[in-house]
């Protein structure tokens, strides 16, 4: 079974308009509310691709109830821990001449609820996959992902981590199966600006030296680079298409990669499916369906 953990789920309030005028009242042309948070997106796309995944994480208040309701409506299988106080965040995503987002902070998570998550993680079985994706609320120790991977160290559970900065770097010593920084996030870890493939490869290899097995660097419209477990470098360009909304494209790529890898263990094919799933989501207003992905695969 695949489990995804989203510490800080959201309702994504997605509005579209031709142009965003800062400092003015802007009127939305369309508005839609989706369940959000990286782990939730990964699980929904896995589900769309026919691979069952269970969503774990924390929800609070009426927004939390709606996250759960919408997640189930879109086919998700969830076992969220309910917090007694606070509200799950609402993240505003403005899709205009450029893409702008305001992500909320989210509720505090008390230690007894964290313990409940640890119990859920202790119930995983050998052969399961655990995906840790997204930011954690400010009052959670920033070694939280590290603590979870340490707990899983000897249990034959493959881990996937999509996080930034120290949250990501601290887990590398526990040898996650896959990490997926984007180009900017990879640069930020080493406090450099990356522009060429050579530079990206060099720093991705450094993360592999620190312990990550597969390092998948997403490059937006330019596709992705993968340093496979045996050190082989793979480069996959994006398929042609028009960007509609990139929210969740990275999460879709993670889901596509996992789905591809589970098919036959071939990382090059997993990369291709990952890129096409990411792009299929970027080419529409929300997460790709299986049909969307198969259409995009035909154009590659
Ligand atoms: N403009 C685009 N055109 C085509 N494909 C895209 C575009 N933007 C994203 N993608 C696809 O989605 C994948 C992930 O995109 P990106 O590198 O932006 O991830 P990310 O920064 O983690 O995204 P997000 O945080 O918005 O989910 C890319 O590798 C690519 O396959
Ligand atoms: O604030 P975080 O946890 O880093 O990211 C949260 C988020 O931006 O990530 C998803 C897209 O990847 C959205 O559904 C959600 O709003």
Kindly give the distance from the C-alpha atom of residue 239 to the centroid of ligand 1, in angstroms, as a whole number.
11
**Does residue 68 belong to any structural domain of this protein?**
yes
**Does residue 17 belong to any structural domain of this protein?**
yes
**Whose Cα sits closest to atom 17 in ligand 1?**
220
> In the chain, what are the helix, strand and coil shares in percent, each to the nearest 5?
40, 25, 35
Q: How far is CA 129 from CA 2, 9, 25, 80, 141, in A?
A: 5, 20, 45, 18, 23
Specify the 3-state DSSP secondary structure of 58. strand
**Residue 71's closest CA among 102, 47, 97?**
47
Q: 26-80: per-residue pLDDT in tens?
A: 999 999 999 999 999 999 999 999 999 999 999 999 999 999 999 999 999 999 9
**Does residue 299 belong to any structural domain of this protein?**
no
Enclosing domain of residue 290: 2-22+29-294
Q: pLDDT at residue 138 above 90?
A: no
What pLDDT score does 300 carry? 87
Phi and psi for 224 in degrees, rounded to 5? Answer: -160, 160
CA atoms of 43 and 65, how far apart (whole Å): 18
Specify the 3-state DSSP secondary structure of 72. helix
**Residue 94's closest CA among 42, 44, 183, 32?**
32
What pLDDT score does 28 carry? 97
Specify the 3-state DSSP secondary structure of 35. strand
What pLDDT score does 134 carry? 96
Ligand nearest to the CA of 235: 1
We report the CATH number of the domain holding residue 66 as 3.40.1190.20
Kindly give the distance from the C-alpha atom of residue 114 to the centroid of ligand 2, in angstroms, as a whole number.
20
Q: At what angle do helices 144-152 and 111-122 cross, to 10 degrees?
A: 30
Tokens of 132: 């840790």
The lowest-confidence range among 6-20, 132-146, 204-218 is: 132-146
The domain total for the chain is 1
**Does residue 146 belong to any structural domain of this protein?**
yes
Burial of 241 (0-12, 13-18, 19+ CB in 10 A): middle
Catalytic residue among 12, 128, 162, 251: 251
Q: pLDDT at residue 265 above 90?
A: yes
Tokens of 169: 């770097």
What pLDDT score does 232 carry? 98
The number of beta carbons lying within 10 Å of the beta carbon of residue 191 is 6
Compute the mean pLDDT over every residue in the chain, rounded to the nearest whole number.
97
Ligand nearest to the CA of 252: 1
**Does residue 300 belong to any structural domain of this protein?**
no
**Whose Cα sits closest to atom 28 in ligand 1?**
220
Ligand nearest to the CA of 164: 2
**Whose Cα sits closest to atom 14 in ligand 2?**
36
CA atoms of 71 and 251, how far apart (whole Å): 15
**Does residue 160 belong to any structural domain of this protein?**
yes
Q: pLDDT at residue 142 above 90?
A: no
Percent of the chain with pLDDT over 90: 97
Q: How far is CA 39 from CA 7, 42, 260, in A?
A: 8, 5, 18
Q: pLDDT at residue 246 above 90?
A: yes
Kindly give the distance from the C-alpha atom of residue 97 to the centroid of ligand 1, in angstroms, as a whole number.
17
| Residue 197 designated active-site | no
Pocket test for ligand 1, best of 279, 284, 288, 292 (most atoms within 8 A of CB): 279
What pLDDT score does 194 carry? 97
* Ordered DSSP codes for 271-285: HHHHHHHHHHHHTSS
Whether ligand 2 lies within 6 angstroms of the CB of 251 is answered as: yes
């Amino acid at each position: 079974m695949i489990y995804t953990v989203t510490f800080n789920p959201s309702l994504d309030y997605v509005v579209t308009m031709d142009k965003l005028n800062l400092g003015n009242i802007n009127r939305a042309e369309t508005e839609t509310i989706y369940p959000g948070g990286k782990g939730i997106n990964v699980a929904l796309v896995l589900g769309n691709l026919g691979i069952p995944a269970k969503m774990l994480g924390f929800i609070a208040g009426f927004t939390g109830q709606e996250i759960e309701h919408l997640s189930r409506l879109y086919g998700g299988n969830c076992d969220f821990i309910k917090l007694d106080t606070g509200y799950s965040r609402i993240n505003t995503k403005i899709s205009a001449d450029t893409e702008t987002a305001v992500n909320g902070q989210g509720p505090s998570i008390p230690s007894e609820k964290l313990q409940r998550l640890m119990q859920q993680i202790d119930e995983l079985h050998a052969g399961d996959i655990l995906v840790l994706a997204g930011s954690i609320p400010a009052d959670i120790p920033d070694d939280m992902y590290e603590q979870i991977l340490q707990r899983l160290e000897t249990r034959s559970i493959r881990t996937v981590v999509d996080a930034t900065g120290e949250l990501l770097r601290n887990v590398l010593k526990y040898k996650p199966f896959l990490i997926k920084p984007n180009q900017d996030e990879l640069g930020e870890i080493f406090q450099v600006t990356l522009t060429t493939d050579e530079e990206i490869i060099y720093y991705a290899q450094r993360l592999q030296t620190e312990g990550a097995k597969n390092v998948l660097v997403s490059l937006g419209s330019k596709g992705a680079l993968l340093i496979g477990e045996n050190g082989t470098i793979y480069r996959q360009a994006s398929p042609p298409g028009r960007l509609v909304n990139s929210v969740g494209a990275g999460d879709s790529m993670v889901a596509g990669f996992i789905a591809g890898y589970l098919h036959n263990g071939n990382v090059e094919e997993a990369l291709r499916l990952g890129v096409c799933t990411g792009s299929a989501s970027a080419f529409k207003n929300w997460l790709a369906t299986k049909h969307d992905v198969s259409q995009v695969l035909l154009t590659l």
